[in-house]
């Protein structure tokens, strides 16, 4: 059984006050997240990431399609016994302290008083807020509130953790800690489904990612595969003559770069056999030939551009 | 399990209210007004007690109304606006538990506030009379009716706050309160008119809006008159039925609402 299974999920909103116009925030999304995966949900602003997470938590209702978590329909209270959720830019009752907030939320789970207390103390330690447990939340910074949000999401030791922009508002140390936390959850066998704008986090943490653009799924798969598939190889040669370079140039993806007695040249994978043959026939000395991975940013922009060019012009919200 | 969850929401609603400084200001004003009724009593001959009870019960009612509206209009809207609901509703609870918990939580807050103000009234009464009389017990009935009235106001606020902004909820609730206090007069006016449309409209208003004037027995008890048990029973049933209908309507609206 998949951890999360989404099938043809769409969400329409009405925009405008007098003349209502329909706007499709999510368009027939189908996706499967396996148990134990760290799954990244990427996309630009307004792509539909938060809409998807809200649909998965039953905060909004789908226009069409279905979604299940661990085989149960989303929105059923029983499902939330096994799911934790961090909303985007979380806000909590500012008249409470973190300890009071976690005590309050813990009462919604079938746990004994001792167990509630044990878990509360454990998560406060885990997110580094133990020493601030009695400070009112109104005095917390955005980053500290984010940690409180993560604490309440993992309080009941859920099997699936849904995180909406978990790194948002965190300083580099905070981001590092959240990364560590996600890795700890993965090590404990939990499924983590998180949306993010920060591509390096996705690259560092995710087993698989999905890319969403204007409500549509435009790519899904393993990051390493996706980046490798788009790749070329970088060859380093001992400085060749201008004639030899001019013969190599048609095979290269970019103009060769000559410096320090060496020539660096990027060759698309399909041209590599020809390139090697030419090196041999011209007697060029090849120092190294290594695959060049696209940066995730490059890949992301490429996928989004591809999806935009395929899409017929549609009214924007 | 479900009742424990709802109780947690009730207690958190109460905690939110007691940590709000505005609440204490309103209670302090009410107590000052009750104390000042002793002074009004001294300049009126022979009716000190009547003045004290009239002013005291009116203060409890008016400040209770202010607290109910002030807290009630934000019950649901504030949680939606600030998005504190998102984390709460992703716990294993049903939306109806949230609405019922909020309703009971505010009623519990009003009960405690009214009890505090009532203690002030009874202290003032004792200071004035140096003893209690058997007919003073009907003051408790008047206080009980104020609580029933406040529960109706809370239910109205809760209902409106499921779909309107706090300002609009306050306006709607206040209008319903004012019209509801004149419900009997409106119906009598409708019976005098020849216009069938106006007659129908006043009849609909009479039955649709809560009849708040039925709960106002302050003048009656301040003159030492008892309230019939039948009135107590009927008012209780009326308030409970009305509360149930409004809370059910709020649950129905909120359960279908997209929390954007």
- Mean pLDDT, contiguous 10-residue spans, chain B (260 residues): 90 90 79 78 74 88 91 87 91 94 95 90 83 82 94 94 90 91 84 84 86 85 84 94 96 92
CB contact under 8 A, A78 and B93: no
Residue predicted with more confidence, A268 or B12: B12
Contact predicate A7/A67, CB 8 Å:
yes
Residue burial A270-284, b: 16+ Cβ < 10 Å; e: rest = ebeeebeebbeeeeb
Contacts of A153 in chain B (CB under 8 A): 87
Cα torsion angle, A179, A180, A185, A188, sign: positive
A104 confidence band (pLDDT: 50, 70, 90): very high
Helix (H), strand (E), coil (C) string for chain A: CCCEEEEEEEEEEEECCCCCEEEEEEEEEEEEECCCCEEEEECCCCCCHHHHHHHHCCCCCCCEEEEEECCEECCCHHHHHCEEEECCCCCCCCCCCHHHHHHHHHCCCCCCHHHHHHHHHHHHHHCCCHHHCCCCHHHCCHHHHHHHHHHHHHCCCCCEEEEECCCCCCCHHHHHHHHHHHHHHHHCCCEEEEEECCHHHHHHHCCEEEEEECCEEEEEEEHHHHHHHCCEEEEEEECCCHHHHHHHHHHCCCCCEEECCEEEEEEEHHHHHHHHHHHHHHCCCEEEEEEECCCHHHHHHHHHHHHHHHCCCCCCC
Q: Which tokens in the block code for residue A193?
A: 């489904």
Distance between CA atoms of residues B154 and B99, nearest Å: 12
Sheet with A160-164, side-by-side order of all strands:
A83-86, A160-164, A191-196, A38-42, A208-213, A216-222
Whole-angstrom distance, CA of residue B85 vs CA of residue A21: 27
Report CB contact under 8 Å: A110, B1: yes
Query: Which residue of B lies nearest to A103 if distances are taken between CA atoms?
Result: B8
Cβ within 8 Å, pair B91-A13: no
- Residue B8 contacts A, CB cutoff 8 Å: yes
Report whether B3 contacts B101 (CB < 8 A). no
* A-B contacts (CB, under 8 Å): 74
Decide if B15 and A96 are in contact by the 8 Å CB cutoff.
yes
B90 inside 8 A of chain A by CB: yes
**Contact residues for A128 (Cβ-Cβ < 8 A; gap 6+):** A147, A177
- Is residue B12 within 8 angstroms of chain A, CB to CB? yes
Residue pLDDT, tens place only, A17-45: 777 788 899 999 999 999 999 999 998 88
d(CA B142, CA A202): 64
End-to-end CA separation in angstroms for chain B: 29
**Are residues B8 and A89, on separate chains, in Cβ contact within 8 Å?**
no
In this complex, the residue of B82, B84, B89 whose CB is nearest that of residue A59 is B89
Nearest CA in chain A to B257: A60
pLDDT for residue A230: 58
Classify residue B244 as exposed, middle or buried by CB count within 10 Å of its CB (0-12, 13-18, 19+): exposed
Angle, alpha carbons A93-A96-A98 (nearest 5°): 100
- B3–A contact, CB cutoff 8 A: no
3-class secondary structure, B147: helix
Selecting from A58, A87, A107 the residue whose C-beta is nearest the C-beta of B87 gives A87
Residue A162 confidence (pLDDT): 95
Nearest to A90 among B87, B93, B258 (CB): B87
Least confident of A169-178, A295-304, A306-315, B13-22: A306-315
Q: Name the residue of chain A whose CA is nearest to B96's CA.
A: A77
ipTM summary value: 0.84
Residues forming a β-bridge with A31: A6
**Closest-CA residue of chain A to B16:** A95
Q: How far apart are CA A151 and CA A135, in angstroms?
A: 15
Q: Roughly what angle, to the nearest 10 degrees, separates helices B21-42 and B48-72?
A: 160
Whether the per-residue pLDDT at A303 is higher than 80: the answer is: no
- CA distances A193 to A1, A38, A223, Å, are 16, 6, 15
Closest CA to B242 of B114, B153, B117, B142: B153
Q: What are phi and psi of A288, to 5 degrees?
A: -155, 160
Query: What is the 8-class DSSP label of residue B132?
Result: -
Given CB atoms, is B165 within the 8 Å cutoff of chain A? no
Assess B214–A contact: CB distance below 8 Å, yes or no. no
Which whole-number Å values give the CA distances from A87 to A70, A109, B77, B96, B137, in the listed order?
20, 19, 18, 21, 53
pLDDT at A314: 41
Q: How far is CA A272 from CA A283, A289, A295, in A?
A: 16, 10, 21
Task: Kindly indicate the confidence band of residue A316, based on its pLDDT and cuts at 50, 70 and 90.
Answer: very low
**Which chain B residues are closer than 8 Å to A89 by Cβ?**
83
**For residues A125-138, average pLDDT:** 91
Residue A59: pLDDT band (50, 70, 90) is very high
Give the gap in angstroms from C-alpha B82 to the nearest C-alpha of chain A.
7
pLDDT, position A298: 73
> Are B122 and B29 contacting, i.e. CB atoms less than 8 angstroms apart?
no
Alpha-carbon gap: A57 to the closest alpha carbon of chain B (Å): 6
What residues does B40 pair with on adjacent strands? none
* Contact at CB, A78 and B91, closer than 8 angstroms: no
What value does the CA radius of gyration of chain A take, rounded to a whole number of Å? Answer: 25
Task: Give the chain B residue whose CA is nearest to the CA of A161.
Answer: B90
B93 contacts in chain A (CB < 8 Å): 77, 108
- Determine the pLDDT at residue A19: 75
The dihedral through the CA atoms of A31, A33, A34, A38 has a sign that is positive
A60 → closest Cβ in B4, B93, B259: B259
Alpha-carbon gap: B94 to the closest alpha carbon of chain A (Å): 6
Say how far apart CA A41 and CA A217 lie, in whole Å. 10
Predicted confidence (pLDDT) at residue A229 exceeds the cutoff of 60? no
d(CA B141, CA B146): 9
> How far apart are the C-alpha atoms of B158 and B76, rounded to whole Å?
7
Share of chain A above pLDDT 70, in %: 93
pLDDT confidence band for A156 (50 / 70 / 90): very high
What distance in Å separates the CA atoms of residue A95 and residue A100, rounded to the nearest whole number?
9
Q: Do A104 and B8 touch (CB under 8 A)?
A: yes
- pLDDT of A305 over the 90 cut: no
Quick: pLDDT tens for A189-224: 999 999 987 778 888 888 899 999 889 998 888 876
Q: Do A85 and B15 touch (CB under 8 A)?
A: no
């Amino acid at each position: 059984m998949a951890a999360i299974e989404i099938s043809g999920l769409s969400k329409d909103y009405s925009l405008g006050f007098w003349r209502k116009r329909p706007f499709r925030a999510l368009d027939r999304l189908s996706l499967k997240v396996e148990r134990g995966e760290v799954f990244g949900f990427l996309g630009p602003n307004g792509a539909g990431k938060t809409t998807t997470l809200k649909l998965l938590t039953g905060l909004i209702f789908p226009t069409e399609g279905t979604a299940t978590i661990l085989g149960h329909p989303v929105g059923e209270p029983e499902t939330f016994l096994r799911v934790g959720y961090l909303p985007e830019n979380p806000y909590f009752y500012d008249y409470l302290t973190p300890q009071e907030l976690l005590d309050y939320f813990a009462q919604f789970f079938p746990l004994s008083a001792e167990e509630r207390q044990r878990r509360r103390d454990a998560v406060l330690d885990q997110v580094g807020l133990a020493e601030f447990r009695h400070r009112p939340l109104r005095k917390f910074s955005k980053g500290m509130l984010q940690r409180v949000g993560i604490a309440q999401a993992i309080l009941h030791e859920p099997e699936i953790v849904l995180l909406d922009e978990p790194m948002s508002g965190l300083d580099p140390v905070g981001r590092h800690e959240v990364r560590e936390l996600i890795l700890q959850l993965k090590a404990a066998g939990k499924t983590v489904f998180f949306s993010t704008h920060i591509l390096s986090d996705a690259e560092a943490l995710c087993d698989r990612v999905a890319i969403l653009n204007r409500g549509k799924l435009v790519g899904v798969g393993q990051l390493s595969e996706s980046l490798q598939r788009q790749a070329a190889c970088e060859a380093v040669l001992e400085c060749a003559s201008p004639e030899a370079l001019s013969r190599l140039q048609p095979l290269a993806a970019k103009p060769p770069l000559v410096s320090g007695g060496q020539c660096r040249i990027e060759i698309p994978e399909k041209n590599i056999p020809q390139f090697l043959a030419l090196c041999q026939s011209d007697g060029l000395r090849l120092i190294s030939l290594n695959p060049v991975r696209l940066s995730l940013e490059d890949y992301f922009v490429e996928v989004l551009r591809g999806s935009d060019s395929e899409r017929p012009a549609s009214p924007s919200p | 399990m479900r009742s424990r969850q709802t109780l947690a929401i009730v207690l958190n609603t109460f905690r939110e209210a007691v940590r709000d400084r505005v609440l204490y200001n309103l209670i302090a004003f009410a107590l000052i007004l009750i104390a000042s009724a002793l002074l009004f009593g001294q300049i009126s001959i022979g009716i000190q007690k009547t003045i004290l009870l009239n002013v005291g019960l009116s203060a409890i009612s008016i400040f209770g109304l202010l607290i109910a509206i002030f807290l009630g209009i934000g019950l649901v809207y504030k949680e939606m606006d600030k998005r504190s609901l998102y984390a709460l509703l992703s716990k294993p609870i049903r939306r109806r538990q949230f609405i019922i918990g909020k309703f009971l939580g505010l009623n519990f807050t009003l009960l405690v506030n009214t009890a505090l103000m009532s203690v002030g009234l009874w202290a003032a009464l004792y200071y004035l009379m140096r003893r209690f009389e058997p007919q003073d017990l009907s003051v408790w009935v008047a206080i009980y009716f104020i609580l029933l009235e406040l529960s109706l106001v809370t239910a109205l606020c809760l209902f409106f706050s499921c779909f309107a902004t706090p300002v609009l909820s306050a306006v709607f609730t206040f209008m319903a309160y004012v019209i509801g206090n004149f419900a009997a007069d409106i119906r009598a006016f409708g019976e005098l008119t020849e216009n069938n449309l106006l007659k129908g409209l006043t009849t609909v208003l009479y039955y649709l809006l809560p009849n708040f004037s039925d709960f106002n027995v302050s003048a009656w008890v301040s003159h030492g008159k008892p309230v019939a048990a039948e009135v107590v029973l009927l008012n209780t049933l009326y308030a409970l039925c009305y509360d149930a209908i409004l809370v059910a309507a709020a649950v129905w609206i909120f359960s279908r609402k997209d929390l954007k």
